[in-house]
Structure 1
Amino acid sequence: MYLADHTWPELGDALSDGSVALVPLGSTEQHGPHLPLATDHLIAEGLATAAAERSDAFRTPTINVGVSPHHRQFPGTMWVDPPEFRDYVESFARNLAYHGIDRVVFVNAHGGNVQHLREVGRRLHEDEVAYAVEWMWDESIPELVDELFERNGPHAGPKETAMITHIAPDLVREDRLEDARDGGLVDLESAETMVHGARTFYDSIDNSANGAFGDPTDVTPEKSERLFEAAADQLVQLAEWIGERDGDELFPESRVEREAANR
């Protein structure tokens, strides 16, 4: 169910303690010469939509701009600073909890958001406001990603190209796939930006001139559908798992309560 399509009387009847929200989050940033800036938030929204249709979870509106200053040299990239991003997402989740949705999955498709979403989840957990976890789609199916693509990449590579091929094929510039591969960084191990164990770079452009990593030419519609469906299935199972937990299982037990139980 997409929460924003419904009226408040309809939601008043539907929402209750224990409801699960799927919050899609991504970015608006460069994804090489072949994918749109919307790539990450389109992936997050597509997966959250599919999972909400296949479970009892509610999908919320999408948070389209994330923490992306490392792509700032590429025209059109947008970002917010980490403190403001964390505060906004935390406030967003507290709003959901006010309406009885105290279980949240941050359906994330942007690596730059990960550590900040985990911090937000920790804050909410400590305050016992909501149980919120960050979920990164490709981390739910790493074996399949490795199986499908020989030369993968963390950004604008075959896995993201495959997801957009499935979700919004008209937005893939198929005539630029080879450009993305040849003008980007196909093999991460060949990068010269790790020196004596230290990462000497801060921005994407320091590793890839066109912002692409991996070989996006290794994508087919069949691989794309398989990847999307596998990730969507993992999200459905996660939403169902969280929804089935008792509140006592999700929120922290105090030290005093733990010691009393062990006496």
Structure 2
Amino acid sequence: MQLADRPWPDIQTYCNSDSLAIVPLGSTEQHGPHLPEGTDHLIADALAREAAERTGFLCTPPVMVGVSSHHRQFHGTLSVDPATFRDYVESLSRSLTGHGIDRIVYVNAHGGNVEHLREVGRRLYEDDTAYAIEWMWNESIPDLVDDLFEHTGPHGGPKETAMILHIAPELVREDRLDAAAENGVARMEELQLRRHGARTFYDAIENSDNGVFGDQRDATAAKGEQLFEAAVDQLTALLDWLDEQRYEDLTARPHV
């Protein structure tokens, strides 16, 4: 059920019988010269919508801008301060709990959001407001990602390219795939990302001139469909599991 598409009595009916909500989150940031800036929120929203369709659970509109300051040197990247992002997501989550929602799955497609979503989840958990957890699509199917691509890369690479080729092929500049790989960092092993145990960079541009990490030239829509279906399977299984739990079993344990 898409919250934004329904009148309030329909949402009331849902909340009278169910207490789980899906919140898709991504970013609006550079993804190389070949992918749209909305790559992350497009993926998150597509996965969340499909999972909601299959399960019947409530899905909110997507949060389209996340924590992306590490891509700020590339035109079009939008970002919000981490504290602002955490407070916004927490406030959004608390507004859901006011309608009877007590468990939330953050369907996330942007690495820069991960630690902040987990912090929001902890805040809600510690004051016993709701049980909220972050789910990152590619982390749910790592073996498939590795099987499909030789050089996956963490950003703008083949897994994201394949997913967009599947869900929004008209937005991919396939004529730029060669340049994206050749002018980016196709092979992560070429980089020295740590020195003496320390991570020594902050921004993407320090390691890649065009913001690409990974070789997207073997990405196809068919591979994107494989990724999408496998990820949705994992997400629906998570939703069903969470829905089956007693809320009392999800809350914080008492002090010893």
AA matched with 1:53? E
Tell me the SS of whatever aligns to 2:105: strand
Match of 2:33 in 1: 33
Match of 2:222 in 1: 222
Tell me the SS of whatever aligns to 1:147: helix
Matched residues in 2 for 1:9 and 1:21: separation? 17
Contact 1:128 1:252 in 2 (8 A): yes
Contact 1:22 1:60 in 2 (8 A): yes
- Count of paired positions: 256
Moved over 4 A (4+): none
Match of 2:195 in 1: 195
Match of 1:127 in 2: 127
Match of 2:162 in 1: 162
Q: Which moved more, 1:189-198 or 1:114-123?
A: 189-198
AA matched with 1:215? D
Give the superposition deviation at 1:102.
1.0
Give the 5 Å matches for 1:57-96: 57-96=57-96
AA matched with 2:249? E
Higher-Rg structure is 1
Match of 2:172 in 1: 172
Match of 2:110 in 1: 110
* Residues 110-147 of structure 1 deviation map (CA, whole Å, 9 limit, x = unaligned): 00000000000000001111100000000000000000
* Residues 33-85 of structure 1 deviation map (CA, whole Å, 9 limit, x = unaligned): 00000000000000000000000311101100000000000000000000000
Matched residues in 1 for 2:120 and 2:169: separation? 33
Matched residues in 1 for 2:18 and 2:53: separation? 18
Q: Which runs of 5+ in 2 are unaligned?
A: none
1:210 aligns with 2:210: yes
Give the superposition deviation at 1:20.
1.2
Percent identity over the alignment is 62
Contact 1:27 1:40 in 2 (8 A): yes
Tell me the SS of whatever aligns to 1:107: strand
Residue 251 and residue 17 in structure 1: after superposition, are their counterparts in 2 closer, same or farther (change >3 A)? farther
Matched residues in 2 for 1:157 and 1:79: separation? 21
Matched residues in 2 for 1:197 and 1:253: separation? 36
Match of 2:100 in 1: 100
AA matched with 2:229? E
Matched residues in 1 for 2:55 and 2:183: separation? 42
Contact 1:16 1:99 in 2 (8 A): no
Contact 1:18 1:102 in 2 (8 A): no
AA matched with 2:204? S
AA matched with 2:34? H
AA matched with 2:24? P
Tell me the SS of whatever aligns to 2:64: coil
Tell me the SS of whatever aligns to 2:186: coil
TM-score (norm 1): 0.95
Give the superposition deviation at 1:17.
6.6
Give the superposition deviation at 1:197.
2.2
Contact 1:181 1:212 in 2 (8 A): yes
Contact 1:162 1:224 in 2 (8 A): yes
RMSD (Å) for aligned C-alpha atoms:
1.0
Match of 1:45 in 2: 45
TM-score (norm 2): 0.98
Tell me the SS of whatever aligns to 2:83: helix
Q: Which runs of 5+ in 1 are unaligned?
A: none
Match of 2:249 in 1: 249
AA matched with 1:101? I
Give the superposition deviation at 1:254.
1.1
Matched residues in 1 for 2:184 and 2:199: separation? 19
Tell me the SS of whatever aligns to 1:62: coil
Matched residues in 2 for 1:197 and 1:13: separation? 54
Contact 1:108 1:114 in 2 (8 A): yes
